[in-house]
Chain A
Amino acid sequence: MADRKFELTEEIIQRYYDGEVHGQERSKIEEALAADPASEKKLARYGRVSELIQLVGEASEADEFTARRNWEEISARLEKKQSKIPRRAAYWLSLAAAAVLLLFFIGPFEKAQSNELVIESIDCTYASFMLIQPETETGHTIIWLSDSDNNVNQ
């Protein structure tokens, strides 16, 4: 019994062009293409369209200078991003430290109106907090804060 004629559909030509056929199917297609000039023309057209599209890709590629400049930008932005978190913690810690110092120095000149101090928030990852109340005449309290994530003590 004779083989049924192998039909070169658009789908098959496209798969062949894109290298998505293998083995026996590939040989069959090549055979059929050799016997069918119209399909060969279609195949050549795929090639021409590809060439044109690839021009767009080439035109978009960065030259060496631009590629290096892009990397420098990326690198700077990454470093900035990585240093942002400790800097924020340091900012809040320094604010807290300033508040403690203020209490320590101004305290002796003013009579305390209240024994209460409310710390609303401490913005760091692993903070330790301690109250130290030495037995002095003034009865001041030392607030000890430690940000173990950044090795900062205040």
Chain B
Amino acid sequence: MPEAKVQQPEEDEQLVSQALAGSQNAFRKLYDRYQKKICGLVGSMINSPEDTGDIVQEVFIRAFGSLDSFKGASSFYTWLYRIALNATTDFRRKQARRSQSVPEQPLSEIGRGELQVAAPGEEGPEGQLYRKELAALVSKALGTLSKEHREVMVLREINGLSYAEIAEVTGVTIGTVMSRLHYARKKVAETLQSWKVLDQEG
């Protein structure tokens, strides 16, 4: 019986070469492969859902524009994540300049009940709303971290990168990644605990 031919997905490096040769279709494949991860990364870093789409677009435009600088020494996605982190940093800088006069809601108000969420069943619109509100609260808790701590937390928990990959993307040592991650987890857990999102027992 003849063996069924299974078409292997092209490697990222192959797609990069094709995109460099002018194939927008190859770049589209890279986009399809990584857009979700980049959305997750950007959205978790900036805490501004309405701006996430624009930044994701900017990330891929920048990536396409500098494809020729991708030498394949690292994996494509760690290279792409670095571009995404730079784009979020630029955005946060601009946002900080713009919103100097618009004070954020003080964190002390959060624990007074208006953002407290009850836990309905997992499925259905109520469940979705619950998850959405919970995500907004956790996002606020992430916002209490410094940019450096937030980066390692998001790259690990949302993008699932190993310590070595996080070190590569952020340009620090594995030891620093570990200590930042430990601090970030502790701080977020304490914050969520103080908002009664996470109970004492965990």
| Chain A to chain B: the 9 pairs with minimum beta-carbon distance, closest first | A60-B43, A45-B202, A57-B158, A57-B40, A59-B135, A53-B157, A55-B135, A52-B138, A56-B44
**Taking CB as reference atom, which chain B residue is nearest A73?**
B57
Cα-based distance from A55 to B197 in the complex (angstroms): 13
23 A–B pairs (Cβ distance < 8 Å), ordered by A: A18-B156, A20-B163, A41-B201, A44-B202, A49-B157, A52-B134, A52-B192, A52-B198, A53-B188, A54-B157, A57-B154, A57-B158, A57-B159, A59-B132, A59-B136, A60-B40, A60-B43, A60-B49, A61-B40, A62-B56, A67-B36, A78-B61, A81-B65
Q: Does A77 contact B (CB under 8 A)?
A: yes
**Taking CB as reference atom, which chain A residue is nearest B131?**
A55
**Taking CB as reference atom, which chain B residue is nearest A13?**
B182
The contact of B178 among A14, A53, A61, A69, by CB within 8 Å, is A14
Q: Does A66 contact B (CB under 8 A)?
A: yes
Residues of B within 8 A of A11 (CB): 178, 182
Query: In terms of DSSP, what is the predominant structure of the interface of chain B?
Result: helix
User: Digit string of B60-86 for contact with A (CB within 8 Å is 1, else 0)?
Assistant: 110011000000000000000000000
Residues of B within 8 A of A42 (CB): 202
- Cross-chain contact B198 with A59 (CB below 8 angstroms): no
- Cross-chain contact A55 with B138 (CB below 8 angstroms): yes
Query: In terms of DSSP, what is the predominant structure of the interface of chain A?
Result: helix
Q: Does A46 contact B (CB under 8 A)?
A: yes
Q: Does B171 contact A (CB under 8 A)?
A: no
- Cross-chain contact B158 with A62 (CB below 8 angstroms): no
From residue A97, how far is it (CB to closest CB) to chain B in Å? Answer: 29
Residues of B within 8 A of A62 (CB): 35-36, 39, 52-53, 56
Cα-based distance from A81 to B66 in the complex (angstroms): 13
CB proximity to A under 8 Å, residues B106-164: 131-132, 134-136, 138-139, 142, 153-154, 156-159, 162-163
Residues of B within 8 A of A74 (CB): 31, 57, 60-61, 64
Q: Does A15 contact B (CB under 8 A)?
A: yes
- Cross-chain contact B202 with A41 (CB below 8 angstroms): yes
Using A18-B163, A49-B198, A53-B157 as known contacts, say yes or no to A78 and B138 having CB atoms under 8 A apart: no
**Taking CB as reference atom, which chain A residue is nearest B40?**
A57
From residue B23, how far is it (CB to closest CB) to chain A in Å? Answer: 12
The interface size of chain A toward B, counting residues with CB under 8 Å, comes to 37
Q: Does A148 contact B (CB under 8 A)?
A: no
The contact of B185 among A49, A73, A75, by CB within 8 Å, is A49
User: Digit string of A1-27 for contact with B (CB within 8 Å is 1, else 0)?
Assistant: 000000000110011001110000000
The contact of B52 among A18, A19, A48, A60, by CB within 8 Å, is A60
Q: Does A126 contact B (CB under 8 A)?
A: no
Q: Does A70 contact B (CB under 8 A)?
A: yes
